[in-house]
Amino acid sequence: MKVLLINPEFPDTYWSFRHALPFEGKRCAFPPLGLLTVSALLPPSWERRLVDLNIESLKESDIEWADMVFATAMLVQKDSLRQVVKRCKAMGKRVVLGGPYVTSTREELPPADHLFRGEAETTLPEFVADLARGEAKAVYQAPERPALSITPIADFGLAKMKRYSAMSVQYSRGCPFSCEFCDIIEIYGRVPRTKSSQQILAEFDALYDLGWRGTLFIVDDNFIGNKKNVRQLMPELAKWQKDHNYPFSLLTESSLNLADDQALLASMRDAGFRRVFIGIETPVEESLHEAQKSQNRGDLLDQVKTIQSYGMEVMAGFIVGFDNDPIDIFERQIDFIRKSAIPLAMVGLLNALPDTQLWKRLEREGRLLGEASGNNTVCTFNFKTRMDPALLIKGYQSIMQTIYSPREYYQRVLDSMKRTAQHFSEPTHYSALSALTTLTRVFLKLGVIDRERKEFWRFFTQALIKHRSRIADSLRLAAVGYHFRKLSDAYSEG
């Protein structure tokens, strides 16, 4: 059996990092871990190929080669998914779909032969057996959420690693909180399930043996969802990193209550965590209450500062469009982001995702307008907002323009670098040649061609004086800032 695994294309959003990747000569930020996991669940004798449309195009010869096509998708990939299915069906292929979009959408899906709803650890082996008997079903619905002890090591070798700027692993699924807008807890549950320490370290080994060095994204919904297990893992992870001379710079997602646990923060620092993404959402208490985000309470700015003091750059999600947002919400978000020293502040408009508590409430209130695009940075709503939508969009654009204006952004980077200053030096895995190439590209684009070059040199001089040992980090942040500025320009025009 020959299986072609396809990851559809993402639109140009914050997380695509599309305008920043060319600086380091990469095509895409992260590999499609869902498909790499699916591949590992297939019988070893089956042949497989991966085509990630974010790094390459889908050739007719690839489709011809395959007996079966497996595609995944998030909501934001649905248009590309539709095209993929159309092409593969037109060439007479059996098409299998799975992933978060297929699991949670209420829309009509493209005409595939087999649909997988939910996690595939138990349903895929069932499908393989059914297929052998000629009795494969049209829909496979995972009966329950499987224990991660049965999740195999992802087939990392299938990915063209050099084209990605980071690799991904997953330690846990699910989150114990109950934010109203969140579909994680609907798809992956409220009881966080983790892999064992041996399992995750085996994945670190696999990536190390394949030659990966650099950023590793632990893609958990909430890394500290099961604190007991994470506390056990940390010393082992720290030892692994030390034994291998710190090959991976770790990035993960966590809830803000990470700030309450200084022992855990210290152990994460020791294990090599250098960046953490946090859902802060809003500084407005009433809106946090509305969103049932009870874990974000107290002095949020102070909590961000605590995390930064352990050497971790904080990245964060922010939302505007809550019913309780006051008229000055835009200024308040800007003010908070400025004071927080969070360079990568991902601000989005509230959207209701299918099956969430928010979706159900808006449906009850007769305010739901249809399914969202999944891209919460395009200026549309899928529900009737309390605030005038035109005002919301204008305010949203003003936040984007302000926080990504070069002077504001570079100041936040410098503030963040000051707060995260530690004694660890730059990772040793950067090759001198690639560092030099990146440096040249950044200098040329941001220091010579770009209209904001004066701000760049002002920033770079400061970084050189104050953070000489972290030049690679400052260049990375300058490149990412350019990406966000490009996006904010595009949104303001749109």
Phi-psi region of 406 (alpha: psi -120 to 50; beta: other; left: phi over 0): alpha
Exposed / middle / buried, residue 161 (Cβ in 10 Å: 0-12, 13-18, 19+):
middle
Contacting residue, 219, 288, 300, 344, with ligand B12 by CB under 6 A: 219
Distance CA 318, CA 345 (A): 7
Site for ligand B12 in 99-118 (CB under 6 A): 99-101, 104, 116
Residue 392 within binding range of ligand B12, rule CB under 6 A: no
Residue 281 touching ligand B12 (CB under 6 A): no
Q: Strand 68-72 and strand 94-98: pairing?
A: parallel
Binder among 8, 32, 247, 311 for ligand B12 (CB under 6 A): 32
Our measurement of the distance from residue 357's CA atom to the centroid of its chain's CA atoms, rounded to an integer in Å, reads 22
Residues 73-102, one symbol each (x = binds ligand B12 by CB under 6 A, - = not), give -xxx-------------------xxxxxx-
Tokens of 230: 């994470």
**Phi, psi dihedrals of residue 365, rounded to the nearest 5°:** -85, 0
**How far apart, in whole angstroms, are the C-alpha atoms of residue 296 and residue 424?**
30
If the CB atoms of residues 39 and 222 are measured against ligand SF4, the closer one turns out to be 222
Of 189 and 389, the one with the shorter C-beta distance to ligand SF4 is 189
Q: Is 220 in the site for ligand SF4 (CB under 6 A)?
A: no
CA dihedral 378, 382, 386, 392 (to 10 degrees): 10
265 makes contact, choosing from ligand SF4, ligand B12, none, with CB < 5 to 8 Å by partner type, with none
- Closest CB to ligand B12 among 188 and 310? 188
Instruction: Give the Cα separation of 340 and 338 in Å (integer).
Output: 6
Which one, 84 or 258, has the nearer CB to ligand SF4? 258
What does 481 interact with, of ligand B12, ligand SF4, none (CB < 5 to 8 A by kind)?
none
> Among 327-335, 371-379, 468-476, 477-485, which window interacts with ligand B12 (CB under 6 A)?
371-379
Q: Applying CB under 6 A, does 10 fall inside the site for ligand B12?
A: yes
Q: Which does 340 bind (CB under 5 to 8 A by kind): ligand SF4, ligand B12, none?
A: none
Side by side, the strands of the sheet bearing 68-72 are 47-52, 2-7, 68-72, 94-98, 114-117, 139-141
Q: Choose one: 13-21, 172-180, 302-310, 357-365; the region binding ligand SF4 (CB under 6 A).
A: 172-180
279 touches ligand SF4 by CB under 6 A = yes
| Residue 175 found at the interface with ligand SF4 (CB under 6 A) | yes
Q: Which is nearer to ligand SF4, 10 or 277 (CB)?
A: 277
Which residue, 420, 427, 13, 29, is CA-closest to 219?
29
Residue number with CB closer to ligand B12 (127 or 456)? 127
**Is 259 one of the binding residues for ligand SF4 (CB under 6 A)?**
no
- Residue 348 makes contact with ligand B12 by CB under 6 A: yes
Whether 249 contacts 427, CB under 8 Å: yes
User: Mask: binding to ligand SF4, 180-219, rule CB under 6 A, as x and -?
Assistant: --x-xx----------------------------------
Q: Which of 158, 184, 463, 479 binds ligand B12 (CB under 6 A)?
A: 184
Contacts of 74 (CB under 8 A, 6+ apart): 10, 99, 100, 101, 374
221 near ligand SF4, rule: CB under 6 A: yes
- What are the angstrom distances between the C-alpha of 203 and each of 157, 167, 185, 237? 12, 11, 25, 12
Question: Using the rule CB under 6 A, which residue among 19, 93, 173, 470 binds ligand B12?
Answer: 173
Site for ligand SF4 in 337-366 (CB under 6 A): none
Q: Which residues bind ligand B12 (CB under 6 A)?
A: 10-11, 13-16, 29-35, 37-38, 70-72, 74-76, 96-101, 104, 116, 119-121, 124, 168, 170, 173, 183-184, 187-188, 219, 221, 348, 353, 374-376
Q: Which residues bind ligand SF4 (CB under 6 A)?
A: 175, 177-179, 182, 184-185, 221-222, 255, 279
